[in-house]
Amino acid sequence: METLHGSWMWVAVISTGLVGLWGITLAMLKRAPDRWFKRAAGVAAGAMLVQVGFGLALYGQGARPGSEFHIFYGFVILFTFAGMYIFRVKMAERPAILWGILLLFIMGLGLRAWANVGG
């Protein structure tokens, strides 16, 4: 499970980063996000949620990352997704830029969590 958590991190971080850049690009070009962007944003968000789920499962099995900040960033990712859900109606007004910024923020949190594995 630790290997899966370590490897899946790259899937989660790269997908959130790429889709986040896609959203920013759409906003800069003043284009509305199409269904492909919406699906990609869902997949990227899902990949990061799976990553956090792996971390929670490992923690439940007694594994500790060596730094409390690693766990902290995982919880910040969860709270960010909760905030996205709470403000989903507001996000629908400007979806490309907001999804882009939030996915890039989540990517950064994932990288910070990774940087704090060893303590």
DSSP string, 32-95: ---HHHHHHHHHHHHHHHHHHHHHHHHHHTT---S-HHHHHHHHHHHHHHHHHHHTHHHHTTSH
pLDDT digits (tens, 9 = 90+) for 107-117: 999 999 999 98
Domain enclosing residue 24, as ranges: 2-115
Q: What's the pLDDT band for 99 if we cut at 50, 70, 90?
A: very high
Q: What's the pLDDT band for 69 if we cut at 50, 70, 90?
A: very high
Torsion of CA 40, 45, 46, 50, to 10 degrees: 140
Q: How far apart are CA 36 and CA 61, in angstroms?
A: 37
Average pLDDT across the chain, whole number = 94
Q: Tell me the mean pLDDT in the region 83-99.
A: 91
Q: Tell me the mean pLDDT in the region 88-96.
A: 90
Q: What is the pLDDT of residue 7?
A: 94
Kindly report the length of the chain.
119
Based on the structure, what is the number of domains in the chain?
Answer: 1
Checking if the pLDDT of 63 tops 80, the result is yes
